Chains A and B, each alone.
Chain A
Amino acid sequence: MAPPAQSQKSASPSQPSGKGEVSDVKMQLRQLAGSRSPGTDDAKRELFKKVISYMTIGIDVSSVFSEMVMCSATSDIVLKKMCYLYVGNYAKYNPDLALLTINFLQRDCKDEDPMIRGLALRSLCSLRVANLVEYLVGPLGTGLKDGNSYVRMVAAVGVLKLYHISASTCMDADFPAMLKHLMLNDKDAQVVANCLTSLQEIWGLEASASEEAARERETLLSKPVIYYFLNRIKEFSEWAQCIVLELVAKYVPSDSNEIFDVMNLLEDRLQHANGAVVLATIKMFLQLTLSMTDVHQQVYERIKAPLLTLVSSGSPEQSYAVLSHLHLLVMRAPFIFSSDYKHFYCQYNEPFYVKKLKLEMLTAVANESNTYDIVTELCEYAANVDIPMARESIRAVGKIALQQYDVNAIVDRLLQFLEMEKEHVTAETLVLVKDLLRKYPQWSHDCIAVVGNISSKNVQEPKAKAALIWMLGEYAQDMQDAPYILESLIENWDEEHSAEVRLHLLTAIMKCFLRRPPETQKALGAALAAGLADFHQDVHDRALFYYRLLKYNVTVAERVVDPPKQAVSVFADTQSSEIKDRIFDEFNSLSVVYQKPSYMFTDKEHRGPFAFSEELGNLSIDTELADNVVPAQRVEANDKDLLLSTSEKEDNHGASNNSSAYNAPSYDGSRMVGASQAQQDLVSLDQPPPANVPVSLAIDDLLGLGLPVVPSPAPSPPALKLNAKAVLDPNSFQQKWRQLPLAASQEISMNPQGVSALSSPQVLLRHMQGHSIHCIASGGQAPNFKFFFFAQKEDEPSTYLVECVINSSTCKAQLKIKADDQSTSQAFSALFESALSKFGLP
Chain B
Amino acid sequence: MISQFFVLSQRGDNIVFRDCRGDVQKNSAEIFFRKVKFWKEDDKEEAPPVFNVDGVNYFHVKVVGLLFVATTRNNLSPSLVLELLQRIARVIKDYLCVLSEESLRKNFVLVYELLDEVMDFGYVQTTSTEVLKSYIFNEPIVVDTDRSTPLGPAALFMQGAKRMPGMAVTKSVVAHEPGGRKREEIFVDIIEKISVTFSSSGYILTSEIDGTIQMKSYLTGNPEIRLALNDDLSIGRSGRSIYDYSGSSGTGSVILDDCNFHESVHLDNFDVDRTLTLVPSDGEFPVMNYRITQEFKPPFRINSLIEEAGPLKAEVILKIYAEFPSSITANTIVVEMPLPTYTTRVNFELEPGAVGQMTDFKESNRRLEWSLKKIVGGSEHTLRAKLTCSQESHGNITKEAGPVSMTFTIPMYNPSRLQVKYLQIAKKTKTYNPYRWVRYVTQANSYVARI
Is B195's CB under 8 angstroms from A347's CB? yes
Partner of A271, one of B15, B26, B109, B261: B261
Is B135's CB under 8 angstroms from A115's CB? yes
Partner of A320, one of B22, B48, B55, B450: B48
A538, CB-defined interface residue at 8 Å: no
Cβ distance A355 to chain B, nearest Cβ, rounded Å: 10
Is B448's CB under 8 angstroms from A348's CB? yes
Task: Write the A657-676 contact mask toward B (1 if CB under 8 angstroms, else 0).
Answer: 00001000000000000000
B74: chain A residues at CB < 8 Å are 602, 606, 608
Give bound CA distance, A223 to B291, whole Å.
Answer: 38
B36, CB-defined interface residue at 8 Å: no
Is B289's CB under 8 angstroms from A309's CB? yes
Partner of B123, one of A58, A85, A157, A325: A157
Is B445's CB under 8 angstroms from A347's CB? yes
Is A3's CB under 8 angstroms from B124's CB? no
B450: chain A residues at CB < 8 Å are 380
B212, CB-defined interface residue at 8 Å: yes
**Residues from 15 to 60 in B contacting A, C-beta threshold 8 Å:** 15-19, 21-22, 26-27, 29-30, 43-46, 48-50, 52, 55, 57, 60
A197: chain B residues at CB < 8 Å are 1, 123
**Residues from 137 to 159 in B contacting A, C-beta threshold 8 Å:** 137-138
A602 touching B446 in the complex, CB below 8 Å, given contacts A349-B405, A420-B399: no
Residue of A nearest to B404 (CB): A348
Is A305's CB under 8 angstroms from B77's CB? no
A4, CB-defined interface residue at 8 Å: yes
B363, CB-defined interface residue at 8 Å: no
A97, CB-defined interface residue at 8 Å: no
A383, CB-defined interface residue at 8 Å: yes
**Residues from 183 to 221 in B contacting A, C-beta threshold 8 Å:** 195, 197, 205-206, 208, 210, 212
Residue with the highest number of chain B CB atoms closer than 10 Å, among A164, A353, A610: A353
Cβ distance A766 to chain B, nearest Cβ, rounded Å: 37
B125, CB-defined interface residue at 8 Å: yes
A310 touching B260 in the complex, CB below 8 Å, given contacts A160-B121, A606-B75: yes
Give bound CA distance, A52 to B138, whole Å.
Answer: 15
B382, CB-defined interface residue at 8 Å: no
A353 touching B48 in the complex, CB below 8 Å, given contacts A309-B291, A602-B55: yes
Is A273's CB under 8 angstroms from B263's CB? yes
B286, CB-defined interface residue at 8 Å: yes
Give bound CA distance, A387 to B341, whole Å.
Answer: 12
Is A588's CB under 8 angstroms from B242's CB? no
B168: chain A residues at CB < 8 Å are none
B82, CB-defined interface residue at 8 Å: yes
A349: chain B residues at CB < 8 Å are 405, 445-446
Give bound CA distance, A460 to B15, whole Å.
Answer: 46
A399: chain B residues at CB < 8 Å are none
Cβ distance B265 to chain A, nearest Cβ, rounded Å: 9
Give bound CA distance, A190 to B125, whole Å.
Answer: 7
B445: chain A residues at CB < 8 Å are 347, 349
A317: chain B residues at CB < 8 Å are 49, 60-62, 82, 85-86
**Residues from 408 to 451 in B contacting A, C-beta threshold 8 Å:** 445-446, 448, 450
Give bound CA distance, A598 to B74, whole Å.
Answer: 9
Is A77's CB under 8 angstroms from B137's CB? yes
B289: chain A residues at CB < 8 Å are 273, 309, 313-314
Interface stretch, picked from B112-120, B311-319, B346-354, is: B112-120
Is B123's CB under 8 angstroms from A52's CB? no
A819: chain B residues at CB < 8 Å are none
A272 touching B261 in the complex, CB below 8 Å, given contacts A128-B22, A239-B127, A312-B210: yes
B321, CB-defined interface residue at 8 Å: no
Partner of B78, one of A313, A377, A385, A593: A593
B126, CB-defined interface residue at 8 Å: yes
A557, CB-defined interface residue at 8 Å: no
Partner of B46, one of A157, A322, A352: A352
Is A385's CB under 8 angstroms from B46's CB? no
Is B257's CB under 8 angstroms from A161's CB? no
A591 touching B84 in the complex, CB below 8 Å, given contacts A352-B45, A352-B46: no
Give bound CA distance, A308 to B116, whole Å.
Answer: 34
A603, CB-defined interface residue at 8 Å: yes
Give bound CA distance, A387 to B366, whole Å.
Answer: 14
Give bound CA distance, A347 to B194, whole Å.
Answer: 11
Partner of B77, one of A1, A242, A320: A242
B242: chain A residues at CB < 8 Å are 301-302, 661
Give bound CA distance, A611 to B74, whole Å.
Answer: 11
Cβ distance B267 to chain A, nearest Cβ, rounded Å: 8
The 6 closest A-B pairs by CB, nearest first: A347-B446, A305-B258, A276-B80, A317-B49, A239-B124, A313-B289
List 17 extra interface pairs beyond A81-B137, A197-B1, A608-B76, CB under 8 A: A1-B17, A78-B113, A157-B120, A161-B121, A271-B260, A305-B258, A313-B260, A316-B49, A317-B85, A318-B86, A347-B446, A350-B446, A351-B46, A353-B49, A388-B45, A588-B77, A592-B78
Q: Can you list 9 A-B contacts with CB-CB less than 8 angstroms, sorted by A residue number? A: A1-B17, A78-B138, A238-B263, A275-B83, A353-B46, A589-B77, A590-B76, A590-B78, A603-B73
| Interface residues in chain A, defined as those with a beta carbon under 8 Å from any beta carbon in chain B | 1-4, 6, 8, 49, 52-53, 56-58, 77-78, 81-82, 85, 89, 92, 115, 122, 126, 128, 153-154, 157, 160-161, 164, 190, 194, 197, 201, 237-239, 242, 246, 271-276, 278-280, 301-302, 305-306, 308-310, 312-318, 320-322, 324-325, 342, 345, 347-353, 377, 380, 383, 385, 387-388, 420-421, 586, 588-594, 598, 601-603, 606-608, 610-611, 653, 661
| Interface residues in chain B, defined as those with a beta carbon under 8 Å from any beta carbon in chain A | 1, 13-19, 21-22, 26-27, 29-30, 43-46, 48-50, 52, 55, 57, 60-63, 73-80, 82-86, 108-109, 112-113, 116, 120-121, 123-128, 135, 137-138, 195, 197, 205-206, 208, 210, 212, 236, 241-242, 244, 257-263, 286, 288-291, 338, 341, 366, 394, 399, 403, 405, 445-446, 448, 450
